[in-house]
Structures are given as structure tokens and as C-alpha cells.
Chain A
Amino acid sequence: DGGITQSPKYLFRKEGQNVTLSCEQNLNHDAMYWYRQDPGQGLRLIYYSQIVNDFQKGDIAEGYSVSREKKESFPLTVTSAQKNPTAFYLCASSISGPLNTEAFFGQGTRLTVV
């Protein structure tokens, strides 16, 4: 089955540690995105990538890093510089154009700093 998979589903991090969230898709989509969602809030864009080996900062990129070495994979690293990392992280993918295409989401990773 085609889809987008995030792992792990739950992640606990100690303060000061970097952690990497995995996102893999087999939909052959060029574009991939990372969003952050806080309780009762909408989604905010962290980073996005329209093509392999290229990515752009979103609205809240500080304290995060990404890579796009393969079309299928877009891992997100939450660094120790992110002051308030506890949140629900959602990865999405879409075809790169036209602009009226939908985004498909993974099931999300809940990150908690302990």
C-alpha cells in the first residue's frame, strides 16, 4: 500500500538532546513538508522540500534541521536549540504541482521533553 510513514509514534527526549524524527513515503511525491501542531492550534510549517537535495525554511525553522538525500525520505532533527520542542509533529507529501493538489499526512510523532 502506498503511503507516508512516520516513526516513532511517541518520543521522549531529555533536555539538551538532539532527536531525529523519521518520515518515509512511497507515493513518488516530489514535495515533502514538516509541520508542528501545539494543543488546540493549527499546523505551522517548519521546513519543506520540493525536490531531492533542496529544502527551504518555513515559518518556524529555528531549532530544527532537515535533509533530503532521497526522494522517499525527509528526516527532521529537533536540536537542543529548540526551546519548546514538546509538540505533535506531522510530515506530509504532495506532488510538486499543480497547486490544487492535496497533501497526504503521516500519522504523526508526539515528542515530549522530560
Chain B
Amino acid sequence: RKEVEQDPGPFNVPEGATVAFNCTYSNSASQSFFWYRQDCRKEPKLLMSVYSSGNEDGRFTAQLNRASQYISLLIRDSKLSDSATYLCVVNNGNNNAGNMLTFGGGTRLMVKP
């Protein structure tokens, strides 16, 4: 089983749609969680951190379910510019080893006019 698993997609949605991605992780001791966005042939960039209480940033909402070991990303009112690959990232580091980011394979989103 992969440490961090995502549905690769692609998710093809019309503009204005609401779309949700899930990501599961295998290490119950994982410390922190992130969603990164990666455009084609570019480097990943942080979209948002994921907090236990859930957090929202504009049209984007992230949730963490530690009991079931998954995180989710909800995008409301999709824009054409949201088309990208969304990477789920889990930090399995500790105070000795420091940060140890493990990336999922990414979920590709394509928003159509």
C-alpha cells in the first residue's frame, strides 16, 4: 500500500461546479498535512495547510479525518484557472528527523468552459 494515495483522475468538471478530492495516508503518526498545486511542467506550490478543525480559504476547504486517515479538498465555483494537478502531502517527520514530506501521486483537475 502506498503511503499517500490519491485518485489520479482526471476530474473533468464544468465551470462553476463543486469538486472534491480525497487522499488517504497510511502512517497514523503523521504530523501535518498539506495540499499543493502543480501546473503542467512546473514546480509544486503550497495551496493550503490542513488543520484538524478544518480550514477554508476562499473557494477552497480542506478537512482532516485522523480516525479514518484521510484528508479532503473541496473546490467550490470552479474556475478555468483551477485546472492543475493537486498533490496531497503528508509530513511524517519528527523532532529528530525534521520535516519528511511524502507526496501522493496527484489528482488532475480539468475545468471546462
Q: Which residues of A contact B (CB under 8 A)?
A: 31, 33, 35, 40-45, 48, 50, 56, 88, 90, 92, 94, 96-97, 99-103, 105-108
The digit string for B71-113, where 1 denotes a CB below 8 A from any CB of A, is 0000000000000000100010111011111111110000000
Complex interface: chain B residues within 8 A of A99 (CB):
31-32, 91, 93-94, 98-99
From B34, B98, B102, contact of A31 by CB (8 A): B98
Interface size class of B (residues with CB under 8 A): 20 to 34
Pairs across A and B, CB under 8 Å, 7 listed: A40-B105, A48-B100, A88-B41, A97-B95, A97-B98, A99-B99, A103-B46
Given A105-B43, A107-B43, A108-B43, A45:B102 Cβ within 8 A: yes
B44 lies within 8 A of chain A by Cβ: yes
Contact A103 B104, beta carbon cutoff 8 Å: no
What is the minimal beta-carbon distance from A70 to any residue of chain B, in angstroms?
A: 18
Q: Which residues of B contact A (CB under 8 A)?
A: 4, 6, 8, 31-32, 34, 41-46, 49, 87, 91, 93-95, 97-106
Complex interface: chain A residues within 8 A of B104 (CB):
42
Complex interface: chain B residues within 8 A of A56 (CB):
97
Contact B98 A42, beta carbon cutoff 8 Å: no
Contact B34 A102, beta carbon cutoff 8 Å: yes
Given A50-B97, A97-B98, A100-B31, A42:B45 Cβ within 8 A: no
A63 to B63, CA, bound (A): 38
Contact B46 A102, beta carbon cutoff 8 Å: yes
